[in-house]
Each structure stands twice: as structure tokens, then as C-alpha cells.
Structure 1
């Protein structure tokens, strides 16, 4: 328990910095593109970001900036994906032998590099396409996927029961979300009063503090296994072979029923992540566009409300778990929550309706900790790193493809139906509900996906 609480500050500081940066980076690129393409200053209004656009006949320019901003995001994600995937698969899997701390420290270094790059480009007004290079360099250190994979493998090392693992993973999501909400609210006010440079500097200092804490305070949880039957790796093999073999052994060494259960759970996890990330990645651009035309303050409040999903999802997981609700049913409830929010967002033309859409998604995070726990229970304790390496390898790949697909669709449909991407996401969720029911009926009887075993304690 002591080591679990020592992990929390690292995740909290990283989360605060990440959620402070995410809307900030999108808005910085958007404003720089506006300046380059229109040769005019970005229109600023206390009530609407589109007021100046309509008065100066710049609505066509606004649509073009929307397209270019989404394409910039596409280029950044695609070019940073390959190095990130390689590092995730190798580093998190190798943590089963080398320890978990390296999977936490390396991504923090990469995030710090990327944030400092944004600060440098903003301060010296350099070419914004240099930011694509900084994203690639950050990906070589693993990125967010490696950090989360290492952290959840760290948590899995410390948990003894299924219920404990589910609640702790959901609790970490809740803690991250609360701090993310505070960061999201402060982003709008920070940007309005101090511009971009000070928020980027603040984020860099927070990442420095988190990195120092991870190096000098965080304790290691993973000790190299001594059972020859478990290791099955000769010391003479290269490190890369050991990393890859960890994932292969996890998939090949399990029984047939475990393989079936694990494969089906991974299908649900990656499919949900595809639709979830793809739909939510367009929220900020959608809010900036007509007819909403939100200012940075409203975007900050919306991001904060979105972040409360971590708290409400934790409460939902806790209540449903203690009541003995089957875990797959908890997953389905989370999918329904997100699908309803996406449909509402697609038709949101007013600020109040958009906030209702965001509030509809308050249980949408429930599937993630539950699915992670279900997969972790199938795998031995010496293969947790390999499992989370494989999960986040697939998640980063899926999310990158998803972001690229949804950015391309948004760029092509923003002129006639900006909410089309949300309808597409909702349609995918409805399809997943049917697939999940079918998958539940296909799970072998000797693999339990019902209420967690902790219920029987």
C-alpha cells in the first residue's frame, strides 16, 4: 500500500502537465496557422471566437484553418507513432525483468522535451512544423502509452485480488481526472492573462519535478523471477529478443481457453479505444468552430467538466463492483454513456446543449479499468509487463489510426456537417454493444468474466 501511494504523485504531476498542455497545444497551432494563412491577428472576444470572423468576412478562412489544424494533428500523430510503438513493446515488456521505473522515467523525459520545444517555438516564434520533430523525439522515449503501461503494470504488481486491482486502477483514473480538471480550467485563464509562454514554462517545471521524484523517491516493485520455467530466456540472448519473447511467451504459453478470453477482451478494449479517442479528439476544434465559437475560457470549463468523468466513473465502478454487477455489464454501461453523449454533441448548436452532451459521458471511463483488470487476472504476475506492453502497443496504434481517420473525416465534412464524426463514433459504439454481447456468449465456461472475486472476501 505504501508503494502504491508513492506512485500517485508521479501520475498526478504528469497528468496535470499533460491536461494543461493538450488544449493549449491545439490552440497554439490553431492561432499560429490563423496568423500565417490570414496575415491578421487572431480574433479575440470575451463572448465568441467567431465575432470578429463574421464582421471581417473571414468565415471561409476559418474553415480552411480548421482543415489545416486537423491535418497538422494528423501529421504529428502519424509520424510519431512508429517509434512510440516500438518503444512501448520493448520497454514495458522488458520491465518484467528490468523493473518498472524505467517505463516511467523515460516517457517523462520525452514529455519534457516536447513541452520545452513548444515553449521554445512559442517564445522565439519559430516555424510550427518544428513541433512535429519534437513529437517524434518524444515518441522515441515512449510517450504516454509507455508511461501508462508501466504505471498499470506497477499497480498490478501490488494488488492481490481482482476487486483490489479494479478499484485501484479506477481510483488512479479518478485521481488523474480530478487534477486534469483543475489543469483544464486553469488553461483558459492562464492563456487569457499570460499568453502561451508561461503555461508552457509551468508545464515544463512540473515535468521536471515529476522526473526527479520518479528517479529518487519512487520504489521498484518488480524483482527478476528465479523460476526457470517462467523465465525460459537464456542470458546470452540479446535484450531485444528478451523483450519480444516476453510478449510471445504471454500469448503462446497460456491455455487455449485463456487465449480465447484474452483475445476477445483485447478486441473490446481496442475497439472502444478507437471510437472513444477518435470522437473526443475533435471536441476542441468543434467547439472553436461555428455556431459554438467558444472562447478559451469556455473550452477550459468544458475540459474540466469532461475530466469529472474520471470521478463519476470511479464511483460507478465502485458501486457496481460492491453490488456484484458482472464486469462485462459495467463495460456495456460505459459504452452506452459515451454513445449518448456523442449523439447529443453531433446536434449541439448552443452552449447549454454542448455541456449536456459532455455531461452525458460521465460514466464513459468505466470500461477501461474494468477491462484492464479482466485481462490482468488471466495473466501470471511475471507477465504483467508483457501484457500491458501489448495492450498499449495496440492502443497507441489504434488511437493513432483513429485520430488520423477522424481528423481526415472532420476535414472533409466540416463545411457541411461538423458533427458527422460524433455520429460515426456513436455508430461504432452501438456496433460494439452487439459484439460485446456476442463475445460474452463465446467466452469459455471456465473463464469467469462476472463479478470480481473480491466480492467473496
Structure 2
């Protein structure tokens, strides 16, 4: 018996598909991010005098005054920090996406990972050298100039789409979202325990920040030296059928338009496209408004749990962050179940009601168990954005057909491609679909007749306009804010 049949991995090995997996980068990056988020909150709290007063103070008034002063200082810090993190990627994210599309796909992944590593190093140096908290603003600005999470997540979605076929692309992207949530859950669960490893020493949080730097370094090294850009799983172009004994070739009708062209009927009115554009605009506005509500609620939650009536310690803060990452899992299961029985609009309303009910209950939380009850009600908070993105993909076709002049003016950035080049070229089976060739003077059939076109006339070419949706902003990667 041949050894190759017994040991299939011996002999010439095919290209290992494991090196095209983006999942290790997502997992290690999210573990580093969850450790960093918890460490940043606890380090900032300690820097603003979180441990200056005793937990058993005899006079409650000074304690309340100190807590108010501490919360105000932490709020001011996070307002500036979040603004810097949110605005600086606007200067570089588009450029990184352009470089990634033009030169190499890993540009939009490696450069943001470098920014993540520098911000983790800045927090580590703050803990080691006791630098002022304001230096973290510069670290946030540097992270944003490297693209931030928006550029990173769009690059992840691009590589995930390239490494999967069209039939399994949605499943691949959902799995990446699940890995993001699971990695954030695991990192948040251990963050409080790692922070307490140095309690009683001046370098509190050293182990936590060192682990975050290590995970970020592993993600950057893997993406630089191990990760390979997968080849596109799109259908390859088939050979053109050549008819023996004839000159030239013949192409069948566009397979995407065969059924539409075979049916004789009046063309659709141009006013049909206007309501579709209105629906797309309304979906986008709804996603942005919902995203603003989510971010506004999530930014207040870490400040709420640090003081009375909850007054959480380091371990409880980590558990609270971990409860936010369960939304990725429960929302995924909710989409699988609800999509069988409800329409998209109903699913969007279920997710919005879930989030608003939990946010309303958070206003009356006075005990720890009430906080987790409110988080349990918000288990479907990720469904609206996911469903809106799916609904928009149904309304926006991957390619729209129109007449476009061959001599395209300079400065137009619409990416066009000849639609017939990627078509499935097959010989027509029915006489109604076949094109009858013209008969020439010598009695033969010319399968590719040449038409006389006046010189200087612009010939309309049939092209497909490809629309690329970036995974940033309100419609992509926003679930990172739900770690609370």
C-alpha cells in the first residue's frame, strides 16, 4: 500500500491554509484590548486618589466628597481620551484603506496593530515610571493616527472575505465576531486577578499591563511574519468556447441577466430607485442614532460602578466587562433563531427594545445582582446593527448595470470591470437563447460580426460598478464599545 494513502501529510504538501487564518490575530488583539481597557480604568482611578481614603472612614461626608472629586476627574479624563481616540483615525483610516487596496492587504492590519502596541507600552511605562496620566492622551493620538480600531477591523473583514467562498462568507464573518467576543470575555475575566498581583506595591497593575503588551506583540509578529493574504475564492474565468471551422468566438448572454432578458416586458420605471435610496438612508441614520445611544450609555457605566452604591473592586470590574462580551454570543444565537420567524424590521425592534429596557433598568441599580439582571436584558443589543448591515446589503447590489463611456474622465474613482469578462461562458442550449450568426458572401457564418462605428463616437461599454463597504464607523466594529 502506498504510504501517501496511510499518511496523507507526507509527500509534497499543499499550501497550508492555516497561515491565512485571521482568527489568531483577532483573538490575541482582543485579549490585549480587554486587559488594556480594564488596566486603564484601574490605573486612572488609582492615579486620581482612588486609594487615598479608607474604606472604613468614620465621617461619611469626606468620603462622599472625595468620591465625587475622583469621579469628576475620571470623567474629564475619559471625555478627552475618547475624543482623541475617535477623531484622530479620521486623518489616517482612509489613507490606510487606500494603501491596502492598492499595494498590500496587510497594511490596514499591521499599522493599527503597531499603534495598539505603542499604546499598551505607554500604559506599561506609566505604571513603571509613574508618569502623569496626561501622557496617555499622546498614546491615544498615536493609536488613532495609526488607523485605530476602524482601520484594523475593516482590514480583518477584507481578509476574512478573501479567504472564504461566497456561500460561506457570512458564516466566516460571524465566526470572527464570535472569536472577538470570546477573546474579550476571557481577557476581562482574568483582568481583575492580574491587576491584584501587585497589590501593596508601588507598581500596581504591572502584571496586567505586561500581559497586554505581550498579547499585542504576538498579534503584530503573527501578522507580519506568519499571516499570508489568502487568494480570492471567487469563480475563475472559464475558457471561451470556440466553434470549429469558424473565425472568432461567441459569448453567451450575461448569466446574471439571462432570466431578465428572456422575459419580454416593459422596463422598470426609473422612479423605483428613489424609494430604495430613501430606505438605505433611513437605515443608515437609524444605525448612527442607535450607535450614539449605545456609546453614550456604555461610557457612563465604568464611572457608575466605581463609586457608591456599587463600589466595585478590581475583580468585580473585570467581571462586569466580561458580561458585556456575552452580547456577541447571545446576539448571534438570537439572529439564528429570530431570522426563521421574523422579518428584519421586527428583529431590529427586538434588539432596540432589549437595549433600551436594560439601559432604563441600569438607572435604578443599587446592588450588584441588579446590574447583571440589566445586562441580561440587554443580551440582544448587537442584533440591530447586524440586521441593518444585512438589510443594506440586500438593497445594494454587488454590481449595478449601466452604460458608462469608455473614455472615463480623470479623477473618477469608481472602480469598473467588464462584466462579460467574469461571466460564465457557456454555449446556449435552447434555440431561443442562441444568437444566429450573420451569413457572409462566401456562404459561411460570421460568429463575430464587425460593426461599422463612426470614428470619434463614444461606445457605451457594459460595466459593473462595484461598491465596497468599509467596516468602520457605525456599521462596523462598533460592538467593541459593548465590553461594558
Structure-2-length-normalised TM-score: 0.67
Q: Does 2:27 match 1:12? A: yes
Query: Is the contact made by 2:19 and 2:226 (CA closer than 8 Å) also made in structure 1?
Result: no
Q: Does 2:358 match 1:349? A: no
1:141-160 correspondence runs (5 A): 141-160=146-165
CA distance in 2, matches of 1:55, 1:168: 54
More strand by share: 2
Matching residue of 2:140: 135
Q: Taking CA–CA contacts closer than 8 Å with sequence separation of 6 or more, which of the two structures ends up with the larger relative contact order?
A: 1
CA distance in 2, matches of 1:110, 1:258: 39
Once the two structures are TM-superposed, the CA of residue 108 in structure 1 deviates from its matched residue by: 0.5
Q: Which runs of 5+ in 1 are unaligned?
A: 36-40, 45-49, 226-254, 404-421, 423-457
Q: Does 2:47 match 1:32? A: yes
CA distance in 1, matches of 2:466, 2:325: 28
Query: Is the contact made by 1:166 and 1:373 (CA closer than 8 Å) also made in structure 2?
Result: no
CA distance in 1, matches of 2:345, 2:104: 31
Query: Is the contact made by 1:108 and 1:207 (CA closer than 8 Å) also made in structure 2?
Result: yes
Shift in alpha-carbon separation, 1:101–1:326, aligned structure 2, 3 A? farther
Counterpart among 182, 185, 188 of residue 181 in structure 1: 185
Query: Is the contact made by 2:35 and 2:187 (CA closer than 8 Å) also made in structure 1?
Result: yes
Q: Does 2:398 match 1:380? A: yes
Matching residue of 1:217: 226
Q: Does 2:216 match 1:207? A: yes
Query: Is the contact made by 1:88 and 1:146 (CA closer than 8 Å) also made in structure 2?
Result: yes
1:306-338 CA distance string (max 9 Å, x none): 2111111111122233x2632333222211111
Once the two structures are TM-superposed, the CA of residue 260 in structure 1 deviates from its matched residue by: 3.7
Matching residue of 2:82: 77
Q: Please state whether the residue corresponding to 2:22 is helix, strand or coil.
A: helix
Query: Is the contact made by 2:150 and 2:477 (CA closer than 8 Å) also made in structure 1?
Result: no
Query: Is the contact made by 2:22 and 2:227 (CA closer than 8 Å) also made in structure 1?
Result: yes
Q: Does 2:336 match 1:327? A: no
Q: Does 2:255 match 1:266? A: no
CA distance in 1, matches of 2:371, 2:277: 42
Q: Does 2:129 match 1:112? A: no
Counterpart among 195, 198, 201 of residue 207 in structure 2: 198
Query: Is the contact made by 1:331 and 1:367 (CA closer than 8 Å) also made in structure 2?
Result: yes
Once the two structures are TM-superposed, the CA of residue 354 in structure 1 deviates from its matched residue by: 1.0
Once the two structures are TM-superposed, the CA of residue 263 in structure 1 deviates from its matched residue by: 2.6
Once the two structures are TM-superposed, the CA of residue 2 in structure 1 deviates from its matched residue by: 4.5
1:146-179 CA distance string (max 9 Å, x none): 11122123334445558x4444333222221111
Once the two structures are TM-superposed, the CA of residue 380 in structure 1 deviates from its matched residue by: 3.5
1:353-397 CA distance string (max 9 Å, x none): 111011111111122333334444526387989521xx5246799
Matching residue of 2:36: 21
Shift in alpha-carbon separation, 1:267–1:221, aligned structure 2, 3 A? farther
Counterpart among 98, 103, 106 of residue 103 in structure 2: 98
1:216-261 CA distance string (max 9 Å, x none): 22222478x9xxxxxxxxxxxxxxxxxxxxxxxxxxxxx6566444
Once the two structures are TM-superposed, the CA of residue 111 in structure 1 deviates from its matched residue by: 0.6
Q: Does 2:384 match 1:361? A: no
Q: Does 2:63 match 1:58? A: yes
Matching residue of 1:428: none
CA distance in 2, matches of 1:19, 1:168: 23
Structure-1-length-normalised TM-score: 0.70
**What is the RMSD computed on CA atoms of the aligned residues?**
3.2
Matching residue of 1:170: 174
Query: Is the contact made by 2:324 and 2:375 (CA closer than 8 Å) also made in structure 1?
Result: yes
More helix by share: 1
Matching residue of 1:278: 296
Matching residue of 2:323: 305
Query: Is the contact made by 1:100 and 1:151 (CA closer than 8 Å) also made in structure 2?
Result: no
CA distance in 1, matches of 2:18, 2:280: 28
